[in-house]
Structure 1
Amino acid sequence: MSYVDGFVMAVPTANKDKFIKHANEGDSVFMENGATRVLECWGDDVKSGKQTDFMRAVNAKDDETVVFSWVEWPDKATRDTGMEKVMKDPRMMPEKNPMPFDGMRMIFGGFSPVVELETKH
């Protein structure tokens, strides 16, 4: 079964194009190191909750948009090896590919799927 790294961040809405450029440059590094799929999703229907929500999770401001992203890997072993290489790749360094958002408010983690459904086209 696959393995997934998930990310949620608050990106200044004015930086959408910068974010897309940043993601395109960085996401190829994941793919080169074993990831099978990367999705970067710009929030357009992110509602406020009564107790918690995506916006509060990343302390999003009024002029920011929540981005939900994930990287799919074939398995955790490939992810562990690949992620180690990704973190050392110079293309991922802030000097080379600066984050157009506050990385201190990004949340992330690795997840083992427990249910996986998909349609075959």
Structure 2
Amino acid sequence: MSYIDGFVLAVPTANKQKFTEHASTSAAVLLECGASRVFECWGDEVPEGKQTDFQRAVQAKDDETVVFSWVEWPDKVTRDAGMQKMMKDPRMDPKWNPMPFDGMRMIFGGFVPVVERGPAR
């Protein structure tokens, strides 16, 4: 069974291209480190909720867009090893690949799927 890392963050809307470049580099590194798939999704229809919502979760400002991302791994062992390897990769060094968003407002976590459906791969 796979393992999923999920992320929600607020990116200045003006930084969409910078974010896409940063995310593309990160995705390449993650795939080299053992990830099966990487999704970086720019908010398109992210409604305000009555009690909570994605914007409030990351304290998004009016000039920011919510991004929802996830990384699929074959299993947690591969993920743990891959994340350690990724953190040492020079392409992930903030001096060379700075995050074009406030990483302090990013929320993230690791998840074990309990239902997984779709075509066989």
| TM-score bucket of the superposed structures, by smaller chain | over 0.9
Report deviation, 1:116. Answer: 0.4
Runs of 5+ consecutive residues of structure 1 not aligned to the other structure: none
1 CA distance for matches of 2:107 and 2:120?
32
TM-score normalised per structure 2:
0.97
Q: What per-residue deviation string (whole Å, max 9, x for no partner) do you get for residues 22-76 of structure 1?
A: 1111111100010010000000000001111000000000000000000100000
- How large is the RMSD of aligned CA atoms in angstroms? 1.2
Does residue 61 of structure 1 match 2:61? yes
Paired residues, number: 121
Matches within 5 A, 1:1-121: 1-119=1-119
Q: What per-residue deviation string (whole Å, max 9, x for no partner) do you get for residues 65-100 of structure 1?
A: 000000100000000110111111111111010001
Which segments of structure 1 move beyond 2 Å, counting only runs of 4 or more? none
Q: Between the two proteins, what is the percent identity of the paired residues?
A: 73
TM-score normalised per structure 1:
0.97
Runs of 5+ consecutive residues of structure 2 not aligned to the other structure: none
